[in-house]
């Protein structure tokens, strides 16, 4: 008799990132560096969401370049195309096709309540297009096309996941069980990193002061310069306590990249000044990010390999969603495709 496979089926995770910029150190420490571990525990599907990117004006050549870079960065950060499906969203037409069907099961009032539409409309008042209004339906299609069990989300995305769940439930009630109703996946968060220039605010690429944010592709000299300019306080002791936001943030960063505790860091820098500490943090961060920078440089120089990975990933994604799309089309009453 054949031996039965007793391993439980892995739950499926879908996540997508827009090709709109490099991850910050905060993004990386908080979530991205856990991607490799995630692949061990789940069936992962990761996409570069270039369809979503065009809700705001894009220069076509720049979008293609950014998409290629974002894909390379995704691989450099640990996504393995041999273990996970990694692809570019627009290369699987099922996303757009399913989005139209789902938009006909989405209420206008639901979309008008989306807080991100209101925020983006204010920021892009000269381009309040229909795609900006309906892109939450495309997000739902992204997730539901793969019958994803889980979707990694932050606090600002709970509303979008809830809409996807509502759309799936409404469709299932009308046409019969078709979609998996996804749940949110709340990964164990790494340290919360703050701006180097205003340690009361989260590190963000939207920081008006370029020295407040460290990007994972910054070179070593740039990283060191930013840490040397980090805001501290008038004290001289490296220790973690209330009222020392700048030093607390630097200690948190140092601990995140070295694995050392606050007590160990305090002991290591006893009797040393802030200048020495800032340099040590910068050196540790640069060393920690070096493998990602090196791998990104290798990948972005190998366009043939990236294209091969994109093609294979898109084919896998298309194959995975084909059965569901046929079922959806059949259930809404479309004639079978030729």
161: nearest Cα among 136, 132, 130, 134: 136
Q: What's the pLDDT tens digit per position in 64-79?
A: 999 999 999 999 999 9
The DSSP 8-state label assigned to residue 9 in this structure reads P
More confident residue, 192 or 89: 89
What's the whole-number mean pLDDT along residues 232-250? 92
The pLDDT confidence band at residue 8, using thresholds 50, 70 and 90, is confident
Q: How far is CA 249 from CA 166, 191, 227, in A?
A: 40, 10, 11
Q: Please say if 205 is a catalytic residue.
A: yes
More confident residue, 167 or 336: 167
Distance CA 39, CA 10 (A): 10
Q: Please say if 9 is a catalytic residue.
A: no
Percent of residues, the chain, with pLDDT higher than 70: 94
The predicted structure's pLDDT at residue 20: 80
Q: What are phi and psi of 78, to 5 degrees?
A: 125, -10
Q: How far is CA 246 from CA 43, 89, 141, 287, in A?
A: 39, 40, 42, 21
Q: Are 13 and 152 in contact (CB under 8 A)?
A: yes
The predicted structure's pLDDT at residue 5: 54
Residues near 310 by Cβ (< 8 Å), separated by ≥ 6? 71, 87, 88, 91
The predicted structure's pLDDT at residue 208: 83
Distance CA 88, CA 50 (A): 7
The predicted structure's pLDDT at residue 9: 85
Q: What are phi and psi of 47, to 5 degrees?
A: -130, 150
Q: How far is CA 112 from CA 103, 107, 161, in A?
A: 13, 9, 15
Residue 70's Cβ-side half-sphere holds a number of Cα atoms within 13 Å equal to 22
The tokens describing 89, both together, are: 């969203």
The pLDDT confidence band at residue 149, using thresholds 50, 70 and 90, is very high
The predicted structure's pLDDT at residue 173: 97
Q: What's the pLDDT tens digit per position in 37-60?
A: 889 899 999 999 999 999 888 999
Q: Is the pLDDT of residue 148 over 60?
A: yes
Percent of residues, the chain, with pLDDT higher than 90: 71
Q: Which residues of 170-186 are buried (b: 16+ CB within 10 A; e: fewer)?
A: bbeeebeebbbebeebe
Q: Is the pLDDT of residue 277 over 80?
A: yes
The tokens describing 99, both together, are: 């989005």
The predicted structure's pLDDT at residue 1: 47
Q: What are phi and psi of 322, to 5 degrees?
A: -60, -45
pTM (predicted TM-score): 0.87
Domains of the chain and CATH, by start: 12-190+303-332 (3.40.50.620), 210-297 (1.10.240.10)
The pLDDT confidence band at residue 112, using thresholds 50, 70 and 90, is confident
Q: Is the pLDDT of residue 16 over 70?
A: yes
Distance CA 147, CA 165 (A): 11
Averaged pLDDT of the chain: 91
More confident residue, 188 or 334: 334
Q: What's the pLDDT tens digit per position in 208-218?
A: 898 999 999 99
From 82, 188, 205, 220, active-site residue:
205
Burial category of 27 from C-beta neighbours within 10 Å (exposed 0-12, middle 13-18, buried 19 and up): buried
From 82, 202, 260, 327, active-site residue:
202
From 9, 120, 272, 303, active-site residue:
120
Q: What's the pLDDT tens digit per position in 154-177?
A: 766 788 999 999 999 999 999 999
The DSSP 8-state label assigned to residue 129 in this structure reads -
The predicted structure's pLDDT at residue 36: 79
Q: Is the pLDDT of residue 83 over 70?
A: yes
Q: Tell me which of 25-29, 31-35, 142-146 is least confident.
A: 31-35
The predicted structure's pLDDT at residue 56: 85
């Amino acid at each position: 008799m054949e031996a039965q496979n007793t391993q439980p089926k892995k739950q499926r995770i879908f996540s997508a990132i827009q090709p709109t910029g490099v991850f910050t150190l905060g993004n990386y420490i908080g979530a991205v560096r856990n991607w490799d571990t995630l692949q061990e525990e789940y069936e992962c599907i990761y996409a570069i969401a270039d369809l979503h990117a065009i809700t705001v004006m894009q220069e076509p050549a720049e979008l293609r370049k950014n998409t290629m870079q974002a894909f390379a960065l995704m691989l450099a950060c640990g996504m393995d195309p041999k273990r996970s499906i990694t692809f570019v969203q627009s290369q699987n037409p099922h996303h757009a096709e399913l989005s139209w069907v789902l938009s006909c099961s989405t209420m206008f009032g639901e979309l008008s309540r989306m807080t991100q539409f209101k925020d983006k409309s204010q920021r892009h008042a000269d381009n309040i297009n229909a795609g900006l209004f309906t892109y939450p339906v495309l997000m739902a299609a992204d997730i539901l096309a793969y019958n994803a069990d889980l979707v990694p989300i932050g606090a600002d995305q709970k509303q979008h996941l809830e809409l996807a769940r509502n759309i799936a439930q409404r469709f299932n009630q009308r046409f019969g069980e078709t979609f998996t109703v996804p749940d949110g996946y709340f990964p164990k968060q790494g340290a919360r990193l703050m701006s180097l220039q205003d340690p009361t605010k989260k590190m963000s690429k939207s920081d008006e002061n370029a020295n407040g944010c460290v990007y994972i592709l910054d070179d070593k000299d740039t990283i060191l310069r930013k840490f040397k300019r980090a805001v501290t306080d008038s004290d001289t002791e490296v220790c973690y306590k209330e009222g020392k936001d700048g030093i607390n943030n630097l200690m948190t960063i140092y601990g995140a990249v070295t694995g050392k505790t606050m007590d160990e860091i305090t002991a290591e820098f006893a009797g040393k000044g802030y200048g020495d500490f800032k340099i040590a943090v910068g050196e540790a961060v640069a060393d920690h990010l070096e493998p990602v920078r090196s791998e990104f440089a290798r990948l972005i120089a190998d366009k043939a390999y990236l294209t091969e990975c994109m093609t294979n990933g898109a084919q896998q994604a298309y194959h995975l969603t084909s059965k569901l799309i046929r079922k959806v089309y059949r259930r809404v009453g479309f004639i079978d495709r030729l």
